[in-house]
Structure 1
Amino acid sequence: MPNPKYDVVAIGNAIVDVLSQSDDAFIVEAGMTKGSMALVFSPEEADALYAKMGPGVEASGGSAANTVAGVAALGGKCGFIGQVASDELGTIFAHDIKSVGIDFTTPARDGEPTTARCLIFVTPDGQRTMNTFLGASQFLPESALDLGMIADAAILYLEGYLWDPEEPRAAMRAAIEVSRKAGRKVAFTLSDVFCISRHGGDFRKLMADGLIDIMFANEAELFALMETEDFDAAVQAAAAQVPMLVVTRSERGAIAASGGAVVAVPAEPIEKVVDTTGAGDLFAAGFLAGQAQGRSIEDSLRMGAICAAEIISHYGARSQADMKALVAAKLG
């Protein structure tokens, strides 16, 4: 098997984030569940919610896109596959992701709906409440896949959020097959409990069929997937079905289970949590970059923790510090 050109190629929602400061009262008044992600099903609803936002900051986002941006910031070679529309937000997304050195070749889609956007309300405690209009991103067809890019990636990274719409779900199944045939690894992030409530059966079958090499979850997602709130039992059950299970636990750090062993690391200390948007995405970035660099599981977990701590120290889900320098200072 030839050496891969890419460390990580991700398939996910191509979204432009709009972040605004808010307070708990507004979250309650608007009928949102604090700290969660909810779908907005029409552009009119998205426009109405956007009109209620305070001053906002726009930045290209999307869970898997944030992750590969983090891997690239750590020196990895990455590609991204996701659907945008032929509109202003689509142009912004494409420019942003290419500007950080990520290959992005997915053709823009003509006509409605518009490029996806995520309206993120950040409360003073740093919690983010997301409202996502998926727009064009949910119409990623199998025909838009860059099969050469997928086959040439050491790791194919898939976003659970994108499993919801039928068309990209079929595209991701096809991508898994391409990656497998090329002898590569497949990583999957569960993304959110609501994804598991809708597609937990699919996710469990992917694991049982041996199609997932690395599974990322937070504690709540792991409980939902394995249908138990006993952490040790959930880890044991999930780890029996995937070669590598990575679970983040917020301020309690993270664990990775592989080959019958469980490795745990603490969370990185941070002065103040400003915005938790992208914490899990950047944790995955650090871990994947560590694995691509041939580091130990413990060091890869620590890289994830370092990246997550940096991202929650400011607004937005893209790093503002020199990530390679941060890791070098702490791990060498």
Structure 2
Amino acid sequence: MKKYQVVGIGNAMVDVLARAEDAFLAEAGVEKGIMQLIDMDRAVDLYSRVGPAKEVSGGSAANTIAGIAHLGGRTAYVGKVKDDQLGAIFAHDLRAQGAGYETAMAPKSEEAETGRCIVLVTPDGERSMNTYLGVTEFLSADDIDEDQMAEAEWIYLEGYRFDGPDSHAAFAKAVAACKGAGGRVSLTLSDPFCIERHRDAFRDMIRDHVDLLFCNRAEMRSMYQTEDFDDALAQAASEVAIVACTDSENGVHVLAEGQRWHVPAVPTQIVDATGAGDLFAGAFLWGLTNGHDLQTCAMMGNVAASEVISHIGARPEAHLKALFKGQGLL
């Protein structure tokens, strides 16, 4: 048995979650519903203008790994923070969830700071993310422990990391170490605009290395440059062993071994959509590494996503295993 069921690699961020009206987004020049990269000056200005906020360790893959740890999975995370206050908060919080976290911190002398994502949640539950990457942008191959990757049944790669200048080399090192030891690779596409910036790199990674692809409808169509959702799914399924594509309130589509399943969403009142895809992936991977069939994994993912969107923040507040049992999944 390998030491880890899943090791995630992503942008280590502290999430600043605040409610905002659509008028505020327009006034502040924030494009609704997407992730925008911002610099430090913009981060400071925007933070000064938002109302009361909740600050928690975050980042897409970190949320996924925290979800797996919440479920009792053997898991670890790789992502760069600085030796500063936010960096210490991030490291402590992730370890407190039960996940391993040993990535070397950037020194105090580093000019860039620990990254943060200002998430503005509108009354419809949509989130608009404004991301200052800080030192997490500079995660490099030197930060990848090959022995750790070899001890993973799966590695989970965050698409947002493709924006980092050294991230491609870091991913390549991780993939080689994991696959060389018989492990498998999962990737989340993260964001349509991220795909636009790095489509060729994504396509190469998907075709050559990915065993499980996570995405949503918009990302799927962006990846394969078609408005025909079914065609995009078919293209993905021709390249990847397992495809799990979420479709908001319409549930999720899973494709594998020439078959396709549609698993309905779990109805819930949307308070904050932040982390829905992250927790879906975490629960799906936990189910997969614990021997459940793909339809059950997808249902677990939907249950986890429905829980996390029912409150502010991207970490579960209810016990997910209890919810799984309530749905007859355990």
Q: State the distance in 1 between where 2:207 and 2:287 align.
A: 26
Q: State the distance in 2 between where 1:103 and 1:207 align.
A: 27
Q: Which amino acid aligns with 1:322?
A: H
Give 3-state SS (helix, strand or coil) of 2:239's partner: coil
Pick aligned residue for 2:21 from 20, 23, 39: 23
Pick aligned residue for 1:89 from 86, 103, 118: 86
Match of 2:227 in 1: 229
Q: State the distance in 2 between where 1:73 and 1:324 align.
A: 9
| Per-residue Cα deviation, 1:68-105 (whole angstroms, up to 9, x for no partner) | 11111112110000000010000000000000110000
The structural deviation recorded for 1:55 is 0.7
| Per-residue Cα deviation, 1:92-150 (whole angstroms, up to 9, x for no partner) | 00000000110000010011200000001111111111100000101112112122211
Q: State the distance in 2 between where 1:25 and 1:327 align.
A: 39
Match of 1:136 in 2: 135
* Count of matched residue pairs: 327
The structural deviation recorded for 1:329 is 1.5
Deviates more, 1:86-95 or 1:70-79: 70-79
| 2:62 counterpart of 1:60 | no
Q: Answer whether contact 1:12 1:64 (CA < 8 A) is retained.
A: yes
Where in structure 2 are there 5+ consecutive unaligned residues? none
Match of 1:247 in 2: 245
Q: Which amino acid aligns with 1:154?
A: E
Pick aligned residue for 1:76 from 70, 73, 92: 73
| Per-residue Cα deviation, 1:170-205 (whole angstroms, up to 9, x for no partner) | 111111111111110000000000111011111111
Report percent identity of matched pairs. Answer: 46
Pick aligned residue for 2:275 from 250, 275, 278: 278
Q: State the distance in 2 between where 1:112 and 1:326 align.
A: 44
Give 3-state SS (helix, strand or coil) of 2:166's partner: helix
Q: State the distance in 2 between where 1:208 and 1:186 align.
A: 12
Consecutive aligned runs of 4 or more in structure 1 exceeding 6 Å deviation:
none
Q: How does the TM-score come out when normalised to structure 2? A: 0.98
Where in structure 1 are there 5+ consecutive unaligned residues? none
Match of 1:204 in 2: 203
Match of 2:318 in 1: 321
1:248-327 equivalent positions in 2, closer than 5 A? 248-270=246-268, 272-327=269-324
Deviates more, 1:144-153 or 1:221-230: 144-153
Q: Which amino acid aligns with 1:69?
A: A
Superposed CA RMSD: 0.8
Match of 1:118 in 2: 117
Q: State the distance in 1 between where 2:237 and 2:308 align.
A: 28
1:185-204 equivalent positions in 2, closer than 5 A? 185-204=184-203
Give 3-state SS (helix, strand or coil) of 1:166's partner: coil
Q: How does the TM-score come out when normalised to structure 1? A: 0.97
Give 3-state SS (helix, strand or coil) of 1:240's partner: helix
Q: State the distance in 2 between where 1:102 and 1:274 align.
A: 27
Q: Answer whether contact 1:105 1:146 (CA < 8 A) is retained.
A: no
Q: Answer whether contact 1:17 1:119 (CA < 8 A) is retained.
A: yes
Q: Answer whether contact 1:38 1:130 (CA < 8 A) is retained.
A: yes
The structural deviation recorded for 1:169 is 2.2
Q: State the distance in 1 between where 2:239 and 2:131 align.
A: 31
| Per-residue Cα deviation, 1:20-43 (whole angstroms, up to 9, x for no partner) | 110010111112221111000x21
Q: Which amino acid aligns with 2:92?
A: H
The structural deviation recorded for 1:54 is 0.3
Pick aligned residue for 1:46 from 40, 43, 46: 43
